[in-house]
Amino acid sequence: MSVLRIINGKVHDPVNNIDGRIKDIFVRDGKIVESVPEDSPTIDASGMVVLPGGVDIHCHIAGHKVNMARKFQPEDHRKDAQLRVGELRSGTGGVVPSTFTTGYRYATLGYTTAMEAAVPPMSARHTLEEFHDTPVIDKGFYVLLANNIFLNQLLEKGRMEEFREAVAWWLNASKAYAIKLVNPGGDEPWKGRKNSNVDQLDQKISGFDLTPRKIIKALIDVSNDLGLPHPAHIHCNNLGHSGNYATTLDTMRTAEGRRVHITHIQFHSYGGKLGEKPTSKAAEIAEYINHHPNITADVGQVMFGNATIMTGDAPLTWLLRNMTHKKWINADTECESGCGILPFAYQGHVYTHALQWAVGLELFLLSKDPWRMVLSTDHPNGGSFENYPRLIRLLMDREFRNEEARKVNQKAIANTKLLDIDREMTMQEIAIITRAGPARILGLTDKGQLGVGADADITIYDENENREEMFNAARYVVKSGNIFIDNHEFREDRHGRIYHVAPDYDPAVEDTLRPFFEDYYTIQFDNYAVDDSYLGDHETVKPYPARFEEAKVSMT
Ligand SMILES: [Zn+2]
């Protein structure tokens, strides 16, 4: 469909300062436009709320580890098979849904973009192939570079020019969208030597003349120098450990004013002593971020029920497996990352789980700038993305939140400020933390907004006092100008677009890389890089400064 009118809807479009005003939206050829002829196809959105399509800045939906997690939990799929409906394909759901179920269910919630958050370069090809099998949503991925032996060796020798060229080469070779750091410097030694994970930023990394801080600083610098649309995306050291908020603050200080994104920050906001029960340091973390506009974060909210831990932080999964005694996977991706997978369930009566749940909510509610503390559950680590509607209700409805808080471990709740917080997020704030904010942090200026020229990714919900019910099922979902969900029914099954970056680099760096690959990789250097044919329908996003000047959008 090339033209569309959406009339009489109550529009929330924070980028364009539209806060619940009745406004008509016009679409032509996949973009929002000034007007279209009156006899164009029309959705009458009277009594409905119109928002830009949702943007998930951090989830795990495609690639090697996700596929291993699927195969690993057949019992989870058996409970939740999605049968073929009309032209739509069948699939399985559960905590780690199949590719097509992932696409359909994101769309059902009104999400039109989702970013896969952790891909080793070697898994890039697999990830892109799964992307092509994930319908409706646009997507991209972040490539793991903070436990890369070749890059570590350049860093320890201070060969910074070559480091920068090699990072740019790796972004091109993998077709990634951004640089991801997971447990910087800790996984690589841990894979080979007992007790060799790191827990301090200035600690020497076993086997290298290098510290985590040097890796963090270098990758923040390169992200900024290359002008990547999204800054370095950091999973800090010491995830999940009591007292880790100090490491998180230290990591944020290391940015020294440069842009950086701290991911699933809930898992990094704990006080207490190592080995003892955690306490909440959400207030301290929120306070720091409130005063440092260069820092953005997503929460990584824990939701009660089933989850699957899947992370490049392999030592963490090993620790958790000692606690849960469940099946788990540990995978070593050659010279470039580790990986752990473990089925998990968050339970309200368990002190630590209840504390994690409350810490996440505190972070949302104590952060003054919703543009910089955005919504995620780190799907499926903190719980499935299918929990987003319930999470939105917790943020918008204080009475409901307090009722839920009274059902869980009370010692944990007493160790937080949750019950003292009156704030209820407004619809405009929800539009920011689920759409406008993540899009801005990603540098995807055509998303998360409904201004003229923006992508026509639009969701329309029936207004409902119960916000969980409201956000559970969009009445209409328009993606790139096509109506995918029409009055609650799927009509379309087209594929989304892939977003990636392609920064310039000096090809001479390949002469340094080739012998390293010949010596240490199982894959031939010439077979390693993913070629353009894997991209399909895609957009190569331009460097950040140029892009943002064009769009005249500034970070808040
Ligand atoms: Zn994650």
Q: Which pLDDT band holds residue 476 (cuts at 50, 70, 90)?
A: very high
DSSP 34: S
- Residue 507's alpha-carbon distances to 17, 223, 504, 514, in angstroms, are 45, 19, 9, 11
The answer on pLDDT for 136 being more than 90 is: yes
- Tell me the average pLDDT across 373-383: 98
SS3 249: helix
Q: Which pLDDT band holds residue 323 (cuts at 50, 70, 90)?
A: confident
| Å from CA of 69 to ligand 1 middle | 14
Find residue 26's DSSP bridge partners: 5, 33
Can you say how many angstroms the Cα of residue 450 is from the centroid of all Cα atoms in its chain? Answer: 22
Virtual torsion, Cα 143, 432, 131, 479, nearest 10 deg: -150
- Amino acid letter for position 76: D
| Å from CA of 433 to ligand 1 middle | 17
Q: Which pLDDT band holds residue 364 (cuts at 50, 70, 90)?
A: very high
Neighbours of ion ligand 1 (CB under 5 A): 117, 378
Q: Which pLDDT band holds residue 305 (cuts at 50, 70, 90)?
A: very high
The answer on pLDDT for 546 being more than 70 is: no
| Å from CA of 300 to ligand 1 middle | 8
Pairing of strands 111-119, 295-298: unpaired
| Å from CA of 266 to ligand 1 middle | 12
The answer on pLDDT for 551 being more than 70 is: no
d(CA 206, CA 542) in angstroms, rounded, equals: 37
d(CA 268, CA 360) in angstroms, rounded, equals: 10
Q: Tens of pLDDT along 23-80?
A: 999 999 999 999 999 999 999 999 999 999 999 999 999 999 999 999 999 888 888 8
Return the structure tokens found at 233: 């995306």
| Å from CA of 85 to ligand 1 middle | 31
| Å from CA of 416 to ligand 1 middle | 24
SS3 551: helix
State the angle between helix axes of 124-131 and 64-71 in degrees (0 to 180), rounded to the nearest 10.
70
| Å from CA of 508 to ligand 1 middle | 34
| Å from CA of 379 to ligand 1 middle | 7
- Tell me the average pLDDT across 152-157: 98
d(CA 479, CA 425) in angstroms, rounded, equals: 26
| Å from CA of 57 to ligand 1 middle | 10
Q: Tens of pLDDT along 69-110?
A: 999 998 888 888 766 666 667 788 999 999 989 999 999 999
DSSP letters spanning 329-390:
EEEEETTTEEEEEEEEEE-TTSHHHHHHHHHHHHHHHH-S-GGGEE---TTTTSS-GGGHHH
Torsions phi, psi for 374 (to 5 deg): -105, 170
Instruction: Give the pLDDT score at 1.
Output: 53
Place of tokens 């795990």: 60
Q: Tens of pLDDT along 486-511?
A: 999 988 778 899 999 999 999 999 99
Return the structure tokens found at 288: 């720091």
Provide the CATH topology of domain 49-499.
Answer: TIM Barrel (3.20.20)
d(CA 32, CA 444) in angstroms, rounded, equals: 15
Domain boundaries, the chain: 49-499
State the DSSP H helix or E strand holding residue 516, giving kind and residue range, or none if neither.
helix 509-520
**Contact status, residue 381 vs residue 308, Cβ threshold 8 Å:** yes
Contacting residues for 148 by C-beta, under 8 A, at least 6 apart: 170, 188, 335, 336, 337
Average pLDDT score, the chain:
94
DSSP 535: T
Tell the burial category of 415 from Cβ atoms under 10 Å away from its Cβ (0-12, 13-18, 19+). Answer: buried
Torsions phi, psi for 265 (to 5 deg): -70, -20
Place of tokens 């995978």: 331
Instruction: Give the pLDDT score at 429.
Output: 98
Percentage of the residues of the chain whose pLDDT score is greater than 70: 96
| Å from CA of 128 to ligand 1 middle | 18
The answer on pLDDT for 235 being more than 60 is: yes
The answer on pLDDT for 553 being more than 50 is: no
Torsions phi, psi for 27 (to 5 deg): -130, 135
d(CA 426, CA 554) in angstroms, rounded, equals: 23
- Beta strand segments in 362-496, E: 373-374, 458-462, 476-479, 482-486, 489-490
| Å from CA of 201 to ligand 1 middle | 21
| Å from CA of 337 to ligand 1 middle | 14
Return the structure tokens found at 281: 């340091």
Name the nearest CA neighbour of 340 among 349, 328, 348: 328
DSSP letters spanning 202-246:
TSPPTTSS--HHHHHHHHHHHHHHTT-SS--EEE-TTTT-TTTHH
| Å from CA of 375 to ligand 1 middle | 13
> pTM, whole model, 2 decimals?
0.96
